[in-house]
Amino acid sequence: MYSQLSLFEPDRADELCVAGAVVLRGLARSNEFAILSALQSITQAAPFRHMVTPGGYRMSVAMTNCGSFGWVTDHKGYRYDAKDPDSGQPWPPMPKIFSSLATAAADKAGFPGFKPDTCLINLYKPGAKLSLHQDKDELDFSAPIVSVSLGLQATFLFGGLRRSDFVHKVLLTHGDIVVWGGPARLAYHGIMPVKNGEHPLLGATRINLTFRKAKGETIV
């Protein structure tokens, strides 16, 4: 199970072990073209947008979603919604290539049978960041989070269950997948401001796909 796996590769001095969290280096690379092509269809139907936090702050990360639900934020709060508030339409369905990858990654990390019902898609331009936070708007914390990095590299911050806990820094590059669940499911995490750069496929852009189970089985 998850406790046998470590988040951070043991041969890298800056990367330490956290129970319940794993980095699967480069796992998404072999499907990169299929993933990017599926992403293009999603963003044609549900374009990236900068959402606003309940406190009125415009997020530097642009977001969209696919799947049965989408994570949204506005002045009313953070929540999952079956419809894209910009179009009033359901979010684009989750492509099979996405759900299969998420299930395979979770399985490899020791969380068999993961079936995400939502994928939050984050787009970072240089300078964009995500402050330390917990993923806690889901009803089901027994399912892990599967987080796929594409394009420009970024420093991932991974702490503990309290905001004040020690924070590990992990460099994530194109194709890396981080999975966290079990004792790490509610760990604080974030992304440091993305540095300028040019990725061969994505240019000056980092994309992150965050797969989650937003709703409990009974109400899906």
Positions that interact with Mn ion (CB under 5 A):
135
Contact between 15 and ligand AKG (CB under 6 A)?
Answer: no
- C-alpha of 195 from chain center: 19
Contact between 208 and ligand AKG (CB under 6 A)?
Answer: yes
Interface positions, 129-188, toward ligand AKG (CB under 6 A): 130, 135, 147, 149, 156
If we measure between CA atoms, which residue out of 17, 20, 39, 188 comes closest to residue 101? 39
Contact between 120 and ligand AKG (CB under 6 A)?
Answer: yes
In this structure, are residues 130 and 192 in contact, taking their beta carbons and an 8 Å threshold? no
Contact between 65 and ligand AKG (CB under 6 A)?
Answer: no
Contact between 122 and ligand AKG (CB under 6 A)?
Answer: yes
Give 2's DSSP letter. Answer: G
Residue selected from 72, 191, 194, 214 as contacting ligand AKG according to rule CB under 6 A? 191
Contact between 189 and ligand AKG (CB under 6 A)?
Answer: yes
Q: In angstroms, rounded to a whole number, what is the distance separating the alpha carbons of residues 209 and 118?
A: 10
When CB distances are held under 5 to 8 angstroms depending on the partner's kind, the choice from Mn ion, ligand AKG, none that residue 205 binds is: none
Q: In angstroms, rounded to a whole number, what is the distance separating the alpha carbons of residues 138 and 10?
A: 31
Contact map string, positions 80 to 109, toward ligand AKG, x by CB under 6 A = ------------------------------
Listed in order, strand segments (DSSP E) in 32-165 are 62-67, 70-74, 77-81, 118-124, 130-133, 145-151, 154-158
Q: How far is the CB of 122 from ligand AKG (least distance, A)?
A: 5
